[in-house]
Amino acid sequence: MVDAFSDRAYSTYCYLFNRYWANSKQPFEFTYDQIKNHLGLCASTRSNDHIISNILTMLANNGLISFELITKVGKDNGNVKTVYCLSHVSATKPEKKN
């Protein structure tokens, strides 16, 4: 809960919203490392991945973003890379239906 309602969560939402808007409201791929770099977190370690995971989960559960996990295989070396595809960002929180 601490990660989900922090300044980092707001900054992550703004970062994703701005990238989505700059991409003409079209889906785009992003990685944890890109978000960590934006937030000023160390991207060379995985020990802080839980922070990004908690933030993305909270944003998705509140209807502010929609994303999916994509696995890609490198063309040159065959390494597997995990990326996320952001498909939608909402400017407002959806209202609850009764």
Report the C-alpha gap between 66 and 77 in whole angstroms.
Answer: 30
Q: With contact defined as beta carbons under 8 Å apart, do 96 and 61 qualify?
A: no
Report the C-alpha gap between 80 and 59 in whole angstroms.
Answer: 26
Question: SS3 letters for 17-49?
Answer: HHHHHHCCCCCEEECHHHHHHHHCCCCCCCCCH
Residue 98 has pLDDT above 70, yes or no: no
Q: Tell me the backbone φ, ψ of residue 94, rounded to 5 degrees.
A: -60, 145
pLDDT for 82:
86
Residue 3 has pLDDT above 90, yes or no: no
pTM given for the model:
0.85
Instruction: Assign 2 a pLDDT band (cuts: 50, 70, 90).
Output: low
pLDDT in tens, 39-88: 999 999 999 999 999 999 999 999 999 999 999 887 888 888 889 999 99
Residue 29 has pLDDT above 80, yes or no: yes
**Among candidates 30, 16, 97, which has minimal Cα distance to 59?**
16
Instruction: Assign 1 a pLDDT band (cuts: 50, 70, 90).
Output: low
